[in-house]
Amino acid sequence: MDRRWVSLLATASVLAGGALVLSATSDESVAAKGPPVDYIEGQVTSGAKKPEAGVWVIAESKPAGTLMRKIVVTDRNGRFVLPELPKATWKVWVRGYGLVDSGKTAAKLGADLSLKVKPARTKVQAAKIYPANYWLSMLNLPNASPDYASQFKLSCMLCHQIGIKSTRLPTRDAFDHGTKKAGTMYGTSLGLGREAFLDSLADWGGRIAKGETPKSAPARPKGLERNIVITQWNWGDKWAYAHDEISTDKRNPRVNAEGPVWGVDIGNDRLLRVDPKTNKSTAIKVPTRNGYNTSWCDATSGPGRPAGSGGFQTLGCPATAVGGVSAYVGRYQNPANPHNPMLDAKGNVWVTTQIRREWQEDIPAQCKTDPAIAGRSHHRQLGYYDPKAKKWSLIDTCYGTHHLQFDKKGVLWTSGDSYVLGWFDPSKYDPKRPETEAQAQGHAEVKVDTNGDGVADKPVVGFNYGVIPNDVDNSVWTAQPSTGPRGLLVRYDKATGKFESYIPPPPGSGPRGVDVDSKGMIWAAMGGSGHLGRFDRSKCTQTWGNGEQCPQGWTFYKPPGPLLAQSTPADQRTADLHYYLFVDVHGTFGMGKDVVILNGTNSDSLQIFQPKTKKWTTLRVPYPLNAYQRGLDGRIDDPKAGWKGRGLWFNDGLDPVIHNEVQHGWLGHAQMRPTPLAR
């Protein structure tokens, strides 16, 4: 409520001889005095009215049946404004580092609240809401080498955070039992040296059980970090494995303005949808071809192969051969297991998705004689959903798919294959003419020239994870996080058909997400080492070679947050995982063009890097804890509406989502206000 009206109401009350009582004032009481009130404001204090600066105020309600949250940060005086709230009764409460969560206060629009909080009594109580990376920084791995630490992070954090409460087990037996609940977890522990690894985990968990806490505490938001507004909508359910979201066409952030935001539920074969205008969430089933209905727990890679050999062994897929058990067998029903969505210029939702069984006899006819394809594993194909026609089109491909991005000509480039780079040209495809499916696609084997004779002589075999077309120089880049000890980037020249590879020098390792800025500079989320990496090919005196030929092209930046316990000043390896990243070429967030935004996947955050100043801004998601984000993008709904007309979109992609503090999937929208109290 505008404080001028509070003053007038107070004056009127005193003049009338009544006692002055300030309380929550509803929007109805001020509706005739000006524009509709769509905010709740107030102050957070502790003790003898001490203002609490840099703490979060969280409002929750179901204005349209879907649970919705608004999260803001208090200014230096402990004041806050929760803006752009739909009409409803909201439950408002406070969370902040060094504090105990406050109780929840019911409030309507226009309320001016006085919220009281108490300091945490002990370090243990304060640390309950610390992000996972602070707890992980206490772990002493059995092998202190940077390469082992990189392998640990790239494999153990593929699905969930390490350091959250559900992973801080008290005994070795608990870790032994827990790592057998999913086949992939058990296999990962074997690769890390299971017995020594369990000893390491048991030491860590045992110290925590006895009351040990992280050596450092996370800082409260300051500066620009207090201007951030986060809006969340629940989508899916407590079993939704919402891997990624998409709000617009990356090439043009005005596509789908004010329209629904889409996500893929990889665990339950659903296309998730939230309409920010109505605040409602829905879901659409992702189909397969010819009745294919084998979930990935049971999928096989060929005749006579064991169940699970053709899928990813996660929730509900225990390591039964060694006595593993799970309470969630059959919970994921996902023959399609859609992984990554992307919008085209028409607003169609393209996805990487499995449409069929993936035995060798099932690959498209035109692929069976290609030595780069035949006899090799290629997981997932393509599909798209037309929201206007409410219709799916499924597309078979020779190559595997994982992530996908359009270039400026509308050609779709995919990662997800360990042998080839694949592409698909929608302009050559007609769903009514099946023969165009093969005509519209192409692929090239990833082979590099190692001796400079102009002939590609060495295949680069490794899983291509991230992908991005670089329209500045007509190239396409992929990231292979786990090829060799440090991973590498791959460059494909569309004009010449030639590949190059670039291995990051220490301290960088494990590039996962990859993106490009407006100048053609390549940026990579270094999942293994925990850095932001930049690669400038113009600094290379030699571009052919086995990948080691251009260390001078690399620059690394350390994001905020604690280091791993065995990190050294030289390697600066962090306890965070950066799953992916987004270069804000169009300035959708409001911090300028070409700002780089890293997923703080193990730190409940987005880490925002300003290339010009080399400064970081942390966008923390304080609630629900365990905000495991993967992909993100930015959209401009109204370029004339200031901060209200633009923002970043991201989601909780935790697997399983029951590790989340509220055990439910959600979509997030982050906006940057000019001040902490902007309405």
Question: Could you read off the pLDDT of 217-229 as tens digits, one per residue?
Answer: 999 999 999 999 9
The single-letter code of the amino acid at 623 is: Y
Instruction: Report how far apart, in Å, the C-alpha atoms of 59 and of each of 26, 129, 235, 644 are.
Output: 16, 18, 17, 18
Q: How confident is the model at residue 656 (pLDDT cuts 50, 70, 90)?
A: very high
Closest CA to 423 of 433, 434, 435, 409: 409
The single-letter code of the amino acid at 428 is: K
Q: Does residue 509 contact residue 529 with C-beta atoms inside 8 Å?
A: yes
- Please provide residue 184's backbone torsions phi and psi, each rounded to the nearest 5 degrees: -65, -40
Cα–Cα–Cα angle for 393, 397, 399, nearest 5°?
A: 145
Q: What is the pLDDT of residue 6?
A: 34
The length of the chain is 679
Both tokens assigned to 528: 């293994």
Q: How far apart are CA 399 and CA 379, in angstroms?
A: 8
Closest CA to 367 of 305, 437, 455: 437
H or E stretch including 387? Answer: none
Q: How confident is the model at residue 11 (pLDDT cuts 50, 70, 90)?
A: very low
Number of H helices, E strands in the chain: 8, 39
317 contact partners, CB below 8 Å, separation of at least 6:
182, 183, 184, 296, 297, 308, 311, 326, 329, 332
Both tokens assigned to 51: 């203002």
Is residue 147 classed as helix, strand or coil in its secondary structure?
helix
Instruction: Report how far apart, in Å, the C-alpha atoms of 468 and of each of 255, 419, 520, 534, 607 are.
Output: 19, 17, 11, 14, 20
Q: Does residue 297 contact residue 308 with C-beta atoms inside 8 Å?
A: yes
How does DSSP classify residue 252? B
Q: What is the pLDDT of residue 9?
A: 33
- Please provide residue 72's backbone torsions phi and psi, each rounded to the nearest 5 degrees: -135, 175
Q: What is the pLDDT of residue 247?
A: 98
Q: How far apart are CA 599 and CA 530, in angstroms?
A: 11
Q: How far apart are CA 429 and CA 431, in angstroms?
A: 6
Q: Is residue 34 exposed (0-12), middle (13-18) or buried (19+ Cβ within 10 Å)?
A: exposed
> Looking at the whole model, is its pTM more than 0.75?
yes
Q: How far apart are CA 437 and CA 450, in angstroms?
A: 35
H or E stretch including 48? Answer: none
Is residue 588 classed as helix, strand or coil in its secondary structure?
coil
Q: What is the pLDDT of residue 23?
A: 31
Instruction: Report how far apart, in Å, the C-alpha atoms of 96 and of each of 92, 107, 217, 457 are.
Output: 14, 20, 12, 57
How does DSSP classify residue 534? E
Query: What tens digit of pLDDT does each residue of 242-299 get?
Result: 999 999 999 999 999 999 999 999 999 999 999 999 999 999 999 999 999 999 999 9
In DSSP notation, 596-642 reads EEEEETTTTEEEEEETTTTEEEEEE--SSS------EEEEES-TTSG
Q: Where are the alpha helices (DSSP H) in 117-259?
A: 123-127, 132-136, 146-156, 172-178, 183-191, 194-209
Query: What tens digit of pLDDT does each residue of 191-217 get?
Result: 999 999 999 999 999 999 999 999 999
Chain-centre distance for alpha carbon 378: 24
Q: Which residues pair with 383 in a beta bridge?
A: 351, 394
Query: What tens digit of pLDDT does each residue of 550-598 get?
Result: 999 999 999 999 999 999 999 999 999 999 999 999 999 999 999 999 9
12 has pLDDT over 70: no
Query: What tens digit of pLDDT does each residue of 108-148 get?
Result: 999 999 999 999 999 999 999 999 999 999 999 999 999 99
Mean pLDDT score, 539-557:
98
Q: How far apart are CA 551 and CA 520, in angstroms?
A: 18
Strand order in the sheet with 499-502: 458-459, 447-448, 499-502, 488-493, 475-480, 466-470
Q: How far apart are CA 384 and CA 316, in angstroms?
A: 28
Strand order in the sheet with 349-353: 340-343, 349-353, 381-386, 391-395
Residue bearing the bigger pLDDT, 32 or 142: 142
In DSSP notation, 425-485 reads -GGG--TT-TTHHHHTEEEEE-EE-SSSSSS--EE--S---EEEEETTTTEEEEEETTSTT
Rg over alpha carbons for the chain, rounded to the nearest Å, is 26
Q: What is the pLDDT of residue 622?
A: 98
H or E stretch including 233? Answer: strand 228-234
Q: How far apart are CA 513 and CA 166, in angstroms?
A: 27
Closest CA to 219 of 136, 120, 131: 131
Q: Is residue 458 exposed (0-12), middle (13-18) or buried (19+ Cβ within 10 Å)?
A: middle
Q: What's the mean pLDDT when you consider all of the chain?
A: 94
Mean pLDDT score, 296-308:
93
Closest CA to 522 of 530, 514, 510: 514
Cα–Cα–Cα angle for 585, 587, 591, nearest 5°?
A: 125
Q: How far apart are CA 395 and CA 376, in angstroms?
A: 19
Q: How confident is the model at residue 34 (pLDDT cuts 50, 70, 90)?
A: low
Closest CA to 564 of 509, 502, 630: 509
Strand pairing class (412-414; 404-406): antiparallel
Both tokens assigned to 332: 């994921």
The single-letter code of the amino acid at 134 is: Y
Q: How far apart are CA 452 and CA 53, in angstroms?
A: 60
Both tokens assigned to 275: 């309409």
Q: What is the pLDDT of residue 125?
A: 98
As a whole-number percent, the residues of the chain with pLDDT over 70 amount to 95
Both tokens assigned to 190: 């074997």
Q: How confident is the model at residue 33 (pLDDT cuts 50, 70, 90)?
A: low
Closest CA to 510 of 59, 80, 156: 156
Q: How confident is the model at residue 35 (pLDDT cuts 50, 70, 90)?
A: confident
Q: How far apart are CA 150 and CA 163, in angstroms?
A: 16
213 contact partners, CB below 8 Å, separation of at least 6:
123, 124, 126, 127
Query: What tens digit of pLDDT does each residue of 416-468 get?
Result: 999 999 999 999 999 999 999 999 999 999 999 999 999 999 999 999 999 99
Q: How far apart are CA 358 and CA 302, in angstroms?
A: 8
Mean pLDDT score, 64-87:
97
Q: How far apart are CA 544 and CA 458, in angstroms?
A: 11
27 has pLDDT over 70: no
643 has pLDDT over 70: yes
Both tokens assigned to 534: 């930049």
Mean pLDDT score, 152-180:
97
